[in-house]
Structure 1
Amino acid sequence: MDYNSIRRKTRGFTVGFVGMGADHPISIQSMTNTDTHDKEATYQQTRRLSDAGCDIVRLALPDIKSAETIYYIKEREIPVPLVADIHFDYRIALAAIDAGVDKIRINPGNIGSREKTEAVVKACIDKKIPIRIGVNSGSVEKSILEKYGTASAEALVESALSHLKILDELDFRDVAISVKASNVPTMLRANRLLAKMTDCPIHLGVTEAGARTRALVKSSIGIGALLSEGIGDTVRVSLTDDPCEEISAAKEIISALEIGKTRGMDIVSCPTCGRTKISLISMLKEFEAKAKDAGLLDMDVKVALMGCAVNGPGEAREADIGIAGGIGEGLLFKKGEQIRKIKEEKLVDELIRELKIMKDVKK
């Protein structure tokens, strides 16, 4: 099925040079976790995120002085748009706009009075900068919490739409919205409700998801379920980890759903069982490390590493290239054809060699 046939129709705009909305690919975002006052460290991490495939990078700006880092990074012509994450003090947003930021994120729960929001909107209109209304379950306005008794899906959506109304009244259209919760069912319900009530692009994420396995599972279910329904225009996988790990996770979610062009190498491997006669677990780790070092992970290919002759040959034949294990050796398959037998200790190196040849041919 063509994903665009089920994707929710939204308004569109650009964040720097990155398009957002239904007419554009789903973008991947992350956020720096350096001290934003440390300009060089923040610049270096932003560059690493860009190199990892991040489309849009967000920076936390705790005070007006930290906005100087926006200018510092922009001066070095880094190839990724920057978003200023604003809480409590609207003047920080104004400073970020003056420094050349590409987008402003405001939190309705703490930005303050309508007049302060209006000041930010007017500055964004002057500089043609979009805004994200970012609602989190941990910072919903007191009045809305009192109405619903908890940060429910309905509370998150009401908070977002009440601020969207202000922007609509100011005739400001370049708006994205996020309604995030650490609870996946709440996050799902909130985004489904929001999708029915506005045509703004939606930024998907599970907030405060945690670390490693727990966070990856929560984000994959929450973000993946909504994308599969056609909801969502940009994503951030929140991890308590190196931000570059968020990019890898987001790429895998998008790739698994086969949304648009696959973003990088699709590696499939069996979980191993008593029939496995090669050291597939260590072999997979070795392959991933060597493929990364060789700059092969950005290839648009499906690679299969299978442990035995039950599903191995069939799965390998479905891949662009793959191996199926035997006793102390494996078969190399390429585009459905068996190429040759290879000794176990040489399987990974031969697979890497073949992938390098494939990459050179595509240049």
Structure 2
Amino acid sequence: MKTKIKKKRLILEPWHLEELEAWFADMASNGWHLVELSKGKAIFEEGEPRAMKYRCDTFQINALLGQDKLEENSKLGWHYIDSIGYVHVFREKDYTVGEEIYPDSRKHAQSLAILKRSLTIRALLITLLSVIMITLQINTFLGNLVHSFLSNSGLLTLMVIITFTYLSFHMFEGVFHLSRLISRLNNGIEFNHNINYKRKLTWFKLRIYTALSIGVAIMLLISLGDLFQKNDYQAIPEHDLPVIKLSTILENEGYRNVTYNFDTFFSDYYLEKSSFFVPRQYELRQSAKVVITGGPSYKPTIWSKRYEVRTNWLARYFFHSLVEQNVKFHGPYELINDPQFDELWIRDTDGFSSFIVRLGHEVFVVEYIGEEPVEVILSHSFWLNSN
């Protein structure tokens, strides 16, 4: 009959030496005996339930001293099973009561030094890598803050920061855990070979599942956001829109003989989008041709945008990034103190008017090519009558 095999994921880390010993012993008492440690899994073989002791020793197995240690532990009545790095797992030999590998707790503490040194080096390297990756991600996010807000790339930045911060924390957590074990051993307190490992196991499972859930949730937000958002450039609807339409300005200014959407080089459009930081985004580009009796035709164009940012705090950062972006594209804007708005910046030159407004968590941007000054464009803005 083929022997039954059970594979269990190694949730516990190699530095949880007491917990690993208690777990393997508990499995043996239920008829599952450890035979291998491979690819992050512990492999157990079914057998008779037995009260079996396990011990975790730490040394460099490929060194001559390590080979001597294997022989020494074997003479003490311990059978070598497998290793996780510098951690080597032994169980009592059949029908043999094994002598303790480290009857002197101070020598046991010395043996853990190699594991602590290795873990400390890895923790420092991961922390250095984390700092580099997080710095690059933050610089990328801040380098094009407007794009980061309007797309879901900011969620990737958040995910990278959370992941690498957790990895660094987790590695140093292992270093501190070993430091506590070494301190206890130096004070004459031996390992608790029957420690309640299930509490630690449950806590680590909860942490891992929480981390995975957060990662999956972020990826789903990105994927679903890209899948369901309206990225298509629509024809401009006839009904009222949440942005300023060119027709509103021209009709209120008394223009007649107006033809809209005549531009074939830059297609006029209306667009609705969404992102995590800016859940509602509206954008309109509209042009017109006005026939003026006895004079040349007039061709005004408007780019009108509205952004509903998730919070006022985020809106302030987003707003100032928009101002900086528009200054680069169009030249300096002027800050205007107006009690109607939380913040207002305008640019008014011959043939070009533009303003950027923040009202709480909402941000409005209008760029107008035409003869009307910025005050006129503002006067026809719909929110003046709704706020």
Normalised to the residue count of structure 1, the TM-score between the two structures is 0.23
**Bigger-Rg structure (1/2):** 2
Normalised to the residue count of structure 2, the TM-score between the two structures is 0.22
Give the structure with the larger strand fraction: 2
